Amino acid sequence: MLRFLLSRIALLIPTFIGVSVIAFSFIRLLPGDPVLLMAGERGLTPERHAELLKQFGFDRPIWEQYYDYLLGILHGDLGNSIVTKKPVITEFFALFPATVELSVCAMILAVALGIPIGIIAAVRRGSFFDHTVMTTALVGYSMPIFWWGLLLIILFAGTLQWTPVSGRISLIYFFPPVTGFMLIDSLLSGQDGAFRSALSHLILPTVVLATIPLAVIARQTRSAMLEVLSEDYVRTARAKGLSPFRIISIHALRNAMIPVITTIGLQVGVLLAGAILTETIFSWPGIGKWMVDSIFRRDYPVVQGGLLLVAGIIMLVNLTVDILYGLINPRIRYAR
């Protein structure tokens, strides 16, 4: 187990370097001059333009810029935003709680509904419930997030007026952030209605972001349960007269959860990618909206640092999933 973990950690190093190359190259492939975009309508003289290019290091060869950027990463410095002049790490972790809050709520919803639905669909294979669930899951997986989000806004925020359209909390509430998580901070504020307002703002973005992971988890759980339920040890448990609940919850579900947990771990990347569109649609002030705005402004350090930090988080989550394999099923032995 230790040898496997060390090999996995060693693989993270070239992966991280590869991601840094992609992050560094991605923003530079887009058309547009960051200095001109920063100047806006004011315009620049050729002399001032050349001065700013030199100030930000854009006049040097690409390989020199990347080398300096890589040295900064090794020293924990991802640079400062061209627009706000603040350190990228400071801005990232100031906005990260909003994305974490949205992603965690979406994942909780997806897991809480996806696993039971998948189990029931597997137990009732071929039934009307099974066909309905799998068809709905396919539709949910295929549905574009931006279109689904706009439909929910029109229905629940526009027509029914049950939920707010955008933001994290109503503008009538103001309190200093303590944790960065609006649900917790609204409770700590002690203001009447603050928590309810924060919760109501969270509903639609959570549903939109959870749709694809929910569909994937439900289908994967059903597939894994069907495979396990056909094993000999499950037939033996049935022959012994064990109750269906005991067979499913103890004998089948434990082994079926291994590929399901893999799927859940992979959905972290899907959530962070989906958060970009979801946060943009609902004006949710998180990492996704921050990076979209930075792309339009050609804020090189923000886009590079944001992509690198998000990729690092996804790699750590995947490593955690690998560790969980052995905790769920001790019989698993890694070859490395």
**What pLDDT was estimated at residue 110?**
93
| Residue 192 burial (C-beta neighbours within 10 Å; 0-12, 13-18, 19+) | exposed
**What pLDDT was estimated at residue 42?**
59
**What pLDDT was estimated at residue 114?**
93
**What pLDDT was estimated at residue 230?**
82
Residues 231-247 have a mean pLDDT of 79
Residues 110-120 have a mean pLDDT of 93
Model confidence at 249: pLDDT above 80: no
Query: Do the Cβ atoms of 9 and 319 come closer than 8 Å?
Result: yes
**What pLDDT was estimated at residue 43?**
60
More confident residue, 247 or 188: 188
Q: Which residue has the tokens 């030199």?
A: 54
**What pLDDT was estimated at residue 153?**
92
More confident residue, 200 or 235: 200
Model confidence at 250: pLDDT above 80: no
- Amino acid making up residue 278: T
**What pLDDT was estimated at residue 207?**
94
**What is the sign, positive or negative, of the torsion defined by CA atoms of 300, 62, 308, 29?**
positive
The Cα 207–Cα 151 span in angstroms is 12
List, in order of start, the domains of the chain with CATH numbers.
88-296 (1.10.3720.10)
Alpha-helical segments (H) within the chain: 2-28, 34-39, 46-56, 62-74, 88-123, 128-142, 145-152, 182-189, 194-229, 232-239, 244-246, 253-281, 287-296, 300-328
Mean per-residue pLDDT over the chain, rounded: 83
**What pLDDT was estimated at residue 266?**
78
**What pLDDT was estimated at residue 107?**
92
Residues 77-100 have a mean pLDDT of 88
DSSP state of 143: S
**What pLDDT was estimated at residue 331?**
58
The Cα 80–Cα 57 span in angstroms is 13
Give pLDDT tens digits for 256-295. 887 888 888 778 777 877 788 899 899 899 988 898 888 8
Q: Give me the phi and psi of 154, to 5 degrees please.
A: -60, -40
**What pLDDT was estimated at residue 4?**
65
Q: Residues near 117 by Cβ (< 8 Å), separated by ≥ 6?
A: 133, 218, 221
The Cα 130–Cα 136 span in angstroms is 10
Model confidence at 80: pLDDT above 60: yes
Terminal alpha carbon distance of the chain = 8
Where does the pLDDT of residue 326 fall: very low under 50, low under 70, confident under 90, or very high at 90 and above? low
More confident residue, 323 or 42: 323
More confident residue, 110 or 55: 110
Q: In this predicted structure, which of 31-45, 124-138, 165-179 has the lowest mean pLDDT? A: 31-45
Q: Residues near 254 by Cβ (< 8 Å), separated by ≥ 6?
A: 328, 329
Per the confidence metrics, is the pTM higher than 0.85? no
The Cα 92–Cα 41 span in angstroms is 28
Model confidence at 214: pLDDT above 70: yes
Give pLDDT tens digits for 10-44. 778 888 888 888 888 877 777 767 777 666 555 66
